[in-house]
Amino acid sequence: MQILAPYRQPSNWRGIVEIGITLIPLVALWILIWVTLDIGYWLSLLLAVPAAGFMVRLFMIQHDCGHGGFFRHRLVNDWVGRVLGVLTATPYDFWRRTHALHHATSGNLDRRGLGDVDTLTVREYQALSLWGRLRYRLYRHPAVMFGIGPTYLFVLRNRLPLGLMREGWGPWLSTMATNFAIAAVVATLIWFMGIGTFLLVHMPVMLLAASIGVWLFYVQHQFEHTFWDENPQWDRHEAALHGSSHYDLPGVLRWFTANIGMHHVHHLSSGIPYYRLPQALRDHPELRSVSRLTLLQSFGCVRLVLWDENQRRMVSFREIRGWRRQA
């Protein structure tokens, strides 16, 4: 963490440029999707793919603002993050708090449940009732995790400060203010273009971006040799370095995801702006091979659903069934 500290200094001008090259193309593509509706919806859906990519990148800017690493002044980070939270349907102050908890507890078996993907150990899963196992299997099914789940998260769950509802007025103010701003923007667009047209344009972009975002978060921590441990043995540095993947994506995808694949470096020093993460890897090549996942390898992470405390790795339901047959 001390070695990476020099990379934490952001550039205000670079931050402004990064917002510009993300937000302007997103708005242009959104308008283009609207214009091409009469040509054929297939074309609009094709345009929704890069638009979703820019939406993901916009969320990553909000993410860096939440860590105080996008602009030099906290006030600027916070207000830029709040405005972007309206576009990403994510209440900034509430999300920043839960995400800070994620960073503080990542890989800690005794502090699961807020800001992470629900993960059970093999023993916990085997101790569940039949109904409990069915619920966990349903939650972990790819159609739920990357389809229904992201839709529920960004359309419904983010509308209430779930998990912090008894933590005072702060989470409620963040969530309700964001909801009000979203409602005002949506109402204006619906008044101007009609509800049907608005849904045809915006929903594919939003839902695809949500699914991509959940996929990235999943792969960053749910890989085979990740890190989980109980409180006495849990170490934050170890959890950051070995419990977060280096998702080594092709260059274009790395740009659209704002280098978030360099997640082990990000967890070691969360205040590093995303545009400085590649420099950190270049200067410290020993970090490149740590927890490295390629795009092709990442698809295998979908089957990994339980933490085996004996083997200290993530395992699949199929492996559990195999063990039972052998027993």
**Would residue 33 count as lying in a domain?**
yes
Distance CA 82, CA 252 (A): 27
- Residue 327 within any structural domain of the chain: no
Structure confidence at residue 84 (pLDDT):
97
Does residue 323 lie within any of the structural domains? no
pLDDT of residue 327: 66
Q: Do residues 111 and 132 make contact, with C-beta atoms less than 8 angstroms apart? A: no
Lookup: tokens for 149 = 């789940």
Provide the 8-state DSSP code for 148.
I
What was the pLDDT predicted at 154?
92
Structural domains of the chain, count? 1
Q: What is the pLDDT, as a whole number, of residue 73? A: 95
Q: Is 219 exposed, middle or buried (0-12, 13-18, 19+ CB in 10 A)?
A: buried
- Helices within 106-194 (DSSP H only): 122-126, 130-140, 142-143, 149-151, 169-193
Instruction: Return the percent helix, strand and coil in the chain, to nearest 5.
Output: 70, 5, 25
Instruction: Kindly state whether residue 312 falls inside one of the protein's structural domains.
Output: no
- pLDDT in 10s for each residue of the chain, 327 residues: 888 989 999 999 999 999 999 999 999 999 999 999 988 889 999 999 999 999 999 999 999 999 999 999 999 999 999 999 999 999 999 999 999 999 999 999 999 877 789 999 999 999 999 999 999 999 999 999 999 999 999 999 999 988 888 888 889 999 999 999 999 999 999 999 999 999 999 999 999 999 999 999 999 999 999 999 998 899 999 999 999 999 999 999 999 999 999 999 999 999 999 999 999 999 999 999 999 999 999 999 999 999 999 999 999 999 988 877 776
Provide the pLDDT for residue 304.
Answer: 96
d(CA 141, CA 302): 9
In a domain, 123, yes or no: no
Distance CA 122, CA 118 (A): 13
Block residue for tokens 């207000």 = 79
The answer as to whether 309 is a domain residue is: no
Segments forming the whole domain that contains residue 54: 5-117+141-298
Q: Is residue 158 part of a domain?
A: yes
DSSP class of residue 116 equals S
Residue 122 in domain? no
